[in-house]
Amino acid sequence: MLRYLALASAIVVAVVLIALAIPHASHDEAASRYVSDPRATAGPAQNDRSHATALPFTGDAPWALSALPECFHQRSSRSGTTVFARVLLAGAHAIAPGTVLHVADCTVAISRDFAIVTRGENRLRIPPPARFYARGEATIVERRDGVRDDVRVYVPRKIAPQ
């Protein structure tokens, strides 16, 4: 009885190994036939970037100002409870919806609870819920995720005189 169980187990293992090996063999065989086919012609290089053009990027980006070091420098990023965020926002005043900030070649159009950040053809949205504040030269973005508040402080990037 034990001999039949061992034989059946060996057969099952062999079938599984063969089944796993067949797709790889056929794929490798097809690939080698294509490579060795004398009628095959070379196509354009797939990673030739000499003719590539950069496409503008768009989309939601809570970190949009952090992604634009030419325009903004992130001074700090803190998260915590709403009470903690209120402490971090002490002395700051809310930026009114409809305000447009121009920093270097970036534009930040502030809405009630989101902002559109534009630089050249690139356009990112700081998604809701987001609130915008100013304290001195700093721009502060507060985002709530329902549990924690994320408070990021940015200062405009200074452009060195030339």
Does 13 share its domain with 71? no
Does 104 share its domain with 135? yes
User: Measured between alpha carbons, how far is 135 from 138 in angstroms, rounded to an integer?
Assistant: 5
Domain of 23? Answer: 1-37
Q: What is the pLDDT of residue 11?
A: 77
Q: What is the pLDDT of residue 10?
A: 67
Residues of the chain scoring pLDDT < 50 = 17, 22-45, 160-162
User: Measured between alpha carbons, how far is 62 from 45 in angstroms, rounded to an integer?
Assistant: 36
Would 47 be classed as within a structural domain?
A: no
The answer to whether 117 and 107 have CB atoms below 8 angstroms apart is yes
**Is residue 91 classed exposed, middle or buried when 0-12, 13-18 and 19+ CB atoms within 10 A define those classes?**
exposed
Q: What is the pLDDT of residue 43?
A: 45
Strand ranges across the sheet with 93-94: 72-80, 149-156, 138-144, 130-135, 93-94
Would 78 be classed as within a structural domain?
A: yes
Does 100 share its domain with 152? yes
* Closest C-alpha among 148, 154, 111, 158 to residue 135: 154
Would 62 be classed as within a structural domain?
A: yes
β-strand partners of 101:
108
Does 65 share its domain with 128? yes
Percent helix, strand and coil across the chain, each to the nearest 5: 30, 35, 40
**SS3 of 111, please?**
coil
Does 33 share its domain with 66? no
Does 16 share its domain with 66? no
DSSP secondary structure code for residue 112 in this structure? S
Does 88 share its domain with 138? yes
Q: How many domains does the chain have?
A: 2
**Is residue 141 classed exposed, middle or buried when 0-12, 13-18 and 19+ CB atoms within 10 A define those classes?**
buried
Q: What is the pLDDT of residue 6?
A: 66
Q: Which residue has the tokens 């053809």?
A: 121
Q: What is the pLDDT of residue 56?
A: 78
β-strand partners of 60:
125
